[in-house]
Copies of this chain bind each other. A is one copy, B any other.
Amino acid sequence: MSTPSISVTGIRMAGEFVEGDKVADRIFAACEQAGFRLADDDVVVVTHKIVSKAEGRVAEMAPGDWEARDALIAREGATFLRRKGSIAITRTRHGFVCASAGIDASNVAPGTVTLLPLNSDRSARSIRSRLKRLAGADVAVVISDTFGRAWRNGQTNVAIGVAGMLPTVNYRDTTDSFGTVLKVTNIAIADELAGAAEMVMGKAEGIPVAVIRGAPVKRGRGSAAELIRPAHEDFFL
Protein backbone atom coordinates (compact mmCIF):
# COMPACT_ATOMS: atom_id res chain seq x y z
CA MET A 1 0.00 0.00 0.00
CA SER A 2 1.23 3.47 -0.80
CA THR A 3 2.13 6.07 1.80
CA PRO A 4 -0.65 8.69 1.93
CA SER A 5 0.59 12.25 1.73
CA ILE A 6 -0.90 15.73 1.70
CA SER A 7 0.80 18.91 0.58
CA VAL A 8 0.01 22.43 1.71
CA THR A 9 1.45 25.12 -0.54
CA GLY A 10 1.32 28.84 0.15
CA ILE A 11 0.58 31.20 -2.73
CA ARG A 12 2.24 34.61 -2.46
CA MET A 13 0.22 37.58 -3.66
CA ALA A 14 1.76 41.00 -4.02
CA GLY A 15 -0.22 44.20 -3.56
CA GLU A 16 -3.23 45.18 -1.52
CA PHE A 17 -6.84 44.18 -2.12
CA VAL A 18 -9.42 46.91 -2.57
CA GLU A 19 -13.15 46.97 -3.14
CA GLY A 20 -14.07 45.53 -6.51
CA ASP A 21 -10.97 43.36 -6.87
CA LYS A 22 -11.66 40.00 -8.47
CA VAL A 23 -10.35 37.55 -5.89
CA ALA A 24 -10.43 34.43 -8.06
CA ASP A 25 -8.70 36.17 -10.95
CA ARG A 26 -5.92 37.37 -8.69
CA ILE A 27 -5.53 33.93 -7.08
CA PHE A 28 -5.30 32.33 -10.50
CA ALA A 29 -2.73 34.89 -11.66
CA ALA A 30 -0.66 34.33 -8.51
CA CYS A 31 -0.71 30.56 -9.03
CA GLU A 32 0.42 31.02 -12.62
CA GLN A 33 3.20 33.33 -11.51
CA ALA A 34 4.35 30.81 -8.91
CA GLY A 35 4.29 28.06 -11.54
CA PHE A 36 1.64 26.26 -9.51
CA ARG A 37 -0.98 24.53 -11.63
CA LEU A 38 -4.33 23.95 -9.90
CA ALA A 39 -5.73 20.44 -10.31
CA ASP A 40 -9.04 18.67 -9.77
CA ASP A 41 -9.78 18.06 -6.08
CA ASP A 42 -7.33 20.69 -4.84
CA VAL A 43 -8.72 22.67 -1.93
CA VAL A 44 -7.97 26.39 -2.25
CA VAL A 45 -8.01 27.98 1.21
CA VAL A 46 -8.43 31.77 1.14
CA THR A 47 -8.08 34.02 4.17
CA HIS A 48 -11.30 36.00 4.57
CA LYS A 49 -9.29 39.19 4.86
CA ILE A 50 -8.80 39.58 1.11
CA VAL A 51 -12.39 38.56 0.43
CA SER A 52 -13.68 41.15 2.89
CA LYS A 53 -11.54 43.88 1.34
CA ALA A 54 -12.61 42.97 -2.20
CA GLU A 55 -16.24 43.03 -1.09
CA GLY A 56 -15.83 46.44 0.52
CA ARG A 57 -16.43 45.02 3.98
CA VAL A 58 -14.22 47.58 5.68
CA ALA A 59 -15.17 50.14 8.34
CA GLU A 60 -13.48 52.94 10.22
CA MET A 61 -12.56 52.40 13.84
CA ALA A 62 -9.89 54.08 15.93
CA PRO A 63 -7.53 51.59 17.62
CA GLY A 64 -8.74 50.70 21.12
CA ASP A 65 -12.07 52.55 20.79
CA TRP A 66 -14.16 49.81 22.38
CA GLU A 67 -17.32 51.87 22.30
CA ALA A 68 -17.02 52.22 18.54
CA ARG A 69 -16.16 48.52 18.34
CA ASP A 70 -19.28 47.56 20.30
CA ALA A 71 -21.44 49.78 18.10
CA LEU A 72 -19.94 48.10 15.05
CA ILE A 73 -20.64 44.65 16.52
CA ALA A 74 -24.27 45.62 16.99
CA ARG A 75 -24.46 47.13 13.49
CA GLU A 76 -23.09 43.83 12.18
CA GLY A 77 -26.12 42.07 13.62
CA ALA A 78 -24.10 40.03 16.12
CA THR A 79 -25.16 39.33 19.70
CA PHE A 80 -22.97 39.45 22.79
CA LEU A 81 -22.44 36.13 24.58
CA ARG A 82 -19.82 37.22 27.14
CA ARG A 83 -18.11 40.53 27.88
CA LYS A 84 -15.22 41.33 30.16
CA GLY A 85 -12.94 44.34 29.85
CA SER A 86 -12.12 44.76 26.17
CA ILE A 87 -13.10 41.16 25.37
CA ALA A 88 -16.42 40.60 23.63
CA ILE A 89 -17.41 37.04 22.67
CA THR A 90 -20.17 37.26 20.09
CA ARG A 91 -22.40 35.21 17.85
CA THR A 92 -22.40 36.63 14.34
CA ARG A 93 -25.30 36.95 11.95
CA HIS A 94 -23.98 33.78 10.29
CA GLY A 95 -24.02 31.94 13.63
CA PHE A 96 -20.25 31.85 14.20
CA VAL A 97 -19.06 32.32 17.76
CA CYS A 98 -15.93 34.46 17.84
CA ALA A 99 -14.41 37.58 19.38
CA SER A 100 -15.76 40.98 18.30
CA ALA A 101 -17.97 39.63 15.49
CA GLY A 102 -14.80 38.96 13.50
CA ILE A 103 -13.93 42.65 13.32
CA ASP A 104 -10.20 42.77 12.75
CA ALA A 105 -7.65 45.58 12.79
CA SER A 106 -4.65 43.59 11.55
CA ASN A 107 -3.34 43.92 8.02
CA VAL A 108 -5.59 46.86 7.17
CA ALA A 109 -4.78 50.55 6.97
CA PRO A 110 -4.52 52.07 10.47
CA GLY A 111 -7.86 53.45 11.68
CA THR A 112 -9.82 50.90 9.67
CA VAL A 113 -10.97 47.32 10.32
CA THR A 114 -12.27 44.49 8.19
CA LEU A 115 -15.68 42.92 8.77
CA LEU A 116 -16.65 39.36 7.89
CA PRO A 117 -18.13 38.79 4.42
CA LEU A 118 -21.91 39.17 4.58
CA ASN A 119 -22.39 35.65 3.26
CA SER A 120 -19.09 33.80 3.33
CA ASP A 121 -20.52 30.61 1.80
CA ARG A 122 -21.75 32.63 -1.16
CA SER A 123 -18.31 34.26 -1.45
CA ALA A 124 -16.73 30.79 -1.48
CA ARG A 125 -19.11 29.58 -4.18
CA SER A 126 -18.41 32.61 -6.30
CA ILE A 127 -14.61 32.22 -6.02
CA ARG A 128 -14.86 28.51 -6.76
CA SER A 129 -17.02 28.98 -9.80
CA ARG A 130 -14.69 31.56 -11.33
CA LEU A 131 -11.50 29.63 -10.42
CA LYS A 132 -12.92 26.50 -11.96
CA ARG A 133 -13.45 28.34 -15.21
CA LEU A 134 -10.06 30.08 -15.20
CA ALA A 135 -8.00 27.05 -14.17
CA GLY A 136 -10.06 24.37 -15.86
CA ALA A 137 -9.82 22.40 -12.61
CA ASP A 138 -12.62 21.26 -10.34
CA VAL A 139 -11.29 22.75 -7.11
CA ALA A 140 -13.02 23.21 -3.76
CA VAL A 141 -12.76 26.48 -1.84
CA VAL A 142 -12.55 27.20 1.90
CA ILE A 143 -12.61 30.75 3.29
CA SER A 144 -10.85 30.92 6.65
CA ASP A 145 -10.66 33.13 9.71
CA THR A 146 -8.73 32.92 12.98
CA PHE A 147 -10.99 32.12 15.94
CA GLY A 148 -10.38 31.52 19.61
CA ARG A 149 -11.97 28.49 21.28
CA ALA A 150 -13.57 27.64 24.58
CA TRP A 151 -11.30 25.89 27.12
CA ARG A 152 -8.10 26.00 25.11
CA ASN A 153 -5.52 28.75 24.83
CA GLY A 154 -4.53 30.04 21.45
CA GLN A 155 -6.43 30.41 18.23
CA THR A 156 -6.73 28.26 15.14
CA ASN A 157 -7.93 28.96 11.64
CA VAL A 158 -11.39 27.61 10.89
CA ALA A 159 -13.71 27.57 7.89
CA ILE A 160 -16.27 30.38 7.56
CA GLY A 161 -17.06 29.63 3.92
CA VAL A 162 -17.07 26.36 1.98
CA ALA A 163 -17.82 25.49 -1.64
CA GLY A 164 -17.48 22.37 -3.76
CA MET A 165 -16.97 19.95 -0.87
CA LEU A 166 -18.72 18.71 2.26
CA PRO A 167 -17.48 20.48 5.41
CA THR A 168 -17.32 17.21 7.33
CA VAL A 169 -16.16 13.66 6.63
CA ASN A 170 -18.49 11.15 8.11
CA TYR A 171 -16.91 8.00 9.50
CA ARG A 172 -20.24 6.95 11.02
CA ASP A 173 -20.92 4.26 8.49
CA THR A 174 -17.42 2.94 8.30
CA THR A 175 -16.09 0.06 10.29
CA ASP A 176 -12.94 0.27 12.35
CA SER A 177 -10.20 -2.35 12.38
CA PHE A 178 -12.12 -4.40 14.96
CA GLY A 179 -15.35 -4.36 12.99
CA THR A 180 -17.04 -1.99 15.44
CA VAL A 181 -19.25 0.56 13.77
CA LEU A 182 -17.99 4.02 14.63
CA LYS A 183 -20.84 6.04 15.96
CA VAL A 184 -19.71 9.53 16.77
CA THR A 185 -16.83 10.40 14.52
CA ASN A 186 -17.76 13.15 12.13
CA ILE A 187 -14.61 15.07 11.32
CA ALA A 188 -14.89 18.79 10.56
CA ILE A 189 -12.35 18.51 7.78
CA ALA A 190 -13.00 22.05 6.51
CA ASP A 191 -11.69 23.34 9.83
CA GLU A 192 -8.67 21.04 9.71
CA LEU A 193 -7.95 22.28 6.16
CA ALA A 194 -8.19 25.90 7.33
CA GLY A 195 -5.84 25.15 10.23
CA ALA A 196 -3.32 23.39 7.98
CA ALA A 197 -3.40 26.35 5.58
CA GLU A 198 -2.71 28.78 8.42
CA MET A 199 0.69 27.18 8.90
CA VAL A 200 1.90 28.36 5.49
CA MET A 201 0.05 31.67 5.59
CA GLY A 202 1.69 33.10 8.69
CA LYS A 203 0.29 36.45 9.58
CA ALA A 204 2.16 39.15 7.76
CA GLU A 205 3.96 37.73 4.80
CA GLY A 206 1.63 38.30 1.91
CA ILE A 207 0.44 34.70 1.66
CA PRO A 208 -3.37 34.92 1.81
CA VAL A 209 -3.98 31.65 -0.06
CA ALA A 210 -2.88 28.03 0.33
CA VAL A 211 -3.60 25.07 -1.90
CA ILE A 212 -4.02 21.69 -0.22
CA ARG A 213 -3.58 18.59 -2.34
CA GLY A 214 -4.36 15.01 -1.36
CA ALA A 215 -6.82 15.63 1.49
CA PRO A 216 -9.67 13.10 1.81
CA VAL A 217 -12.44 15.59 1.14
CA LYS A 218 -15.79 14.41 -0.05
CA ARG A 219 -16.89 16.46 -3.03
CA GLY A 220 -20.42 17.80 -3.23
CA ARG A 221 -22.54 20.79 -2.30
CA GLY A 222 -21.48 21.81 1.18
CA SER A 223 -21.32 24.96 3.27
CA ALA A 224 -19.72 26.34 6.40
CA ALA A 225 -23.25 26.99 7.68
CA GLU A 226 -23.46 23.23 8.29
CA LEU A 227 -20.60 23.58 10.77
CA ILE A 228 -22.71 25.77 13.03
CA ARG A 229 -24.28 23.77 15.84
CA PRO A 230 -27.92 24.79 16.21
CA ALA A 231 -28.42 26.90 19.35
CA HIS A 232 -30.89 24.43 20.85
CA GLU A 233 -28.31 21.63 20.59
CA ASP A 234 -25.48 23.64 22.08
CA PHE A 235 -24.50 23.23 25.74
CA PHE A 236 -22.24 26.26 25.87
CA LEU A 237 -24.06 29.26 24.43
Chain A contacts to B: CB under 8 angstroms: 1, 3-12, 34, 36, 63, 81-82, 84, 89, 96-97, 99, 105-110, 146, 149-158, 167-168, 171, 174-180, 182, 184-189, 191-193, 195-196, 198-200, 202-207, 215-216, 226-229, 234-237
Contacts and interface: CB of A to CB of B under 8 A. Distances in A.
A174 B195 contact: no
Contacts of A236: 82, 150-151, 236
Contacts of A81: 235
Given A107-B177, A153-B226, A228-B152, A89 B235 contact: yes
Interface centre among A81, A110, A199, A228 (most CB of B within 10 A): A199
B191 A195 contact: yes
Nearest to A159: B152
Give the secondary structure class of A's interface.
loop
Copies in the complex: 2
Nearest to A230: B153
A209 to B, nearest CB: 11
